[in-house]
Amino acid sequence: MKKPFLSILFFLPLLLAFGQEGTQTLRVTGTRLVHPIFRKWIEEYTKLHPGISIQLDSRIPADSADLLIASHILRASDLKEGQTSVVLNRYVQLPVVNSRRSDVAALQSRGFSDADLRQVYFAGNRKADQHPIGNPDPVPSIYHFAVYKREKPACASMAFANHFGNEQKDIKGTGVTGDDRDLLEAVKKDTNGISYNNLGFLYDLRTRKPVEGIAIIPMDLDGNGKVDPPENIYATLDQVIAFAEKDQNRQLLTEDVHVIFSRANPNKALAGFLEWIRTEGQQYDHEYGFLVPAN
């Protein structure tokens, strides 16, 4: 198993500062796309440490949580005084359309370049128009898309927009209430629907194949206007994960999962849980559609 870049030496000061006594209840909140694997981490960790209770709920106020999950690039303003962060794993987002489209085969054969996604999601945005990259010929106008996006700010949408040098507010389309699962449902209900989502929701975690009702559109990674055999890695979840971890192609939209916590108030239970995730907990990343942390 790959060793994490942050060893127990990072957490040792927290352990020593807190001592042997302290709270045995941890409160975790933040982006819900990571909740499935977090629940697994909590389940396995509390088997080993039954005296520790870990509550995971997106309704917990951020200022009263021991851990805040943030799955986007952290800005200086995201960390308050006395706070720090670590990366737990990574996730990939892919473009997805309704599987009933009559032109699915053509789209999957052609693939999307970065320039295509800029046109579909940020058409009319100055940044998108001035900085085209990838395939110089944008996706033809014969393809009609009904774009769906998250209605309210969300980590995955922020990461998606940041990848193209934009902000979430710049994404065009129809806003969807709820979370990323609701975003996927909107695409399933609309033949022309298109959106983006993470591997853990796009693929059935048991069969490892795309969920029913959707079709993943490959990325044209070399920008030659077609998906070559080495780029056609979307048949199973494990193919995508293996490719993303080995190749680390910049056109694949990959983002870190951070957790923010207070370094000013050391917590022994928190330090132990984070260290376990960064070591033993990594064995569950692939099962839930996540990548191990990058070196």
Q: Which of the pair, 224 or 288, is modelled with greater confidence?
A: 288
Q: What is the per-residue pLDDT across 221-266, written as a single tens digit (0 to 9) for each?
A: 988 999 999 999 999 999 999 999 998 788 899 999 999 999 877 6
**Mean per-residue pLDDT, 97-109:** 95
Q: What is the CATH number of domain 92-254?
A: 3.40.190.10
Q: What is the per-residue pLDDT across 142-201, written as a single tens digit (0 to 9) for each?
A: 468 999 999 998 999 999 999 999 999 999 999 999 999 999 999 999 999 999 999 999
Report percent pLDDT > 90 for the chain. 74
Q: How far apart are CA 294 and CA 282, in angstroms?
A: 12
Report percent pLDDT > 70 for the chain. 84
Answer whether residue 16 shows pLDDT above 60.
Answer: no
**Where in the sequence of the chain do the CATH 3.40.190.10 domains occur?**
8-89+258-288, 92-254
* Average pLDDT across the chain, whole number: 87
Question: Of 172, 164, 126, 166, whose CA–CA distance to 147 is shortest?
Answer: 172
Confidence of residue 5 (pLDDT cuts 50, 70, 90): very low
Indicate left, alpha or beta for 178 from its phi (over 0: left) and psi (-120 to 50: alpha).
left
Kindly state the tokens that stand for 183. Answer: 């975003």
User: Can you give the pLDDT at residue 128?
Assistant: 33
Question: Of 183, 2, 190, 178, whose CA–CA distance to 89 is shortest?
Answer: 2
Confidence of residue 133 (pLDDT cuts 50, 70, 90): very low
Indicate left, alpha or beta for 142 from its phi (over 0: left) and psi (-120 to 50: alpha).
alpha
Answer whether residue 4 shows pLDDT above 90.
Answer: no
Q: Which CATH class is domain 8-89+258-288?
A: alpha beta
Q: How far apart are CA 117 and CA 105, in angstroms?
A: 18
Answer whether residue 22 shows pLDDT above 70.
Answer: no
Answer whether residue 132 shows pLDDT above 50.
Answer: no
Kindly state the tokens that stand for 115. Answer: 């320039």
User: Can you give the pLDDT at residue 10?
Assistant: 53
Question: Of 291, 99, 270, whose CA–CA distance to 194 is shortest?
Answer: 99
In three-state form (DSSP H/G/I as H, E/B as E, the rest C), the secondary structure along 175-240 is EECCCHHHHHHHHHHCCCEEEEEEHHHHECCCCCCECCCEEECCECCCCCCCCCHHHCCCCCHHHH
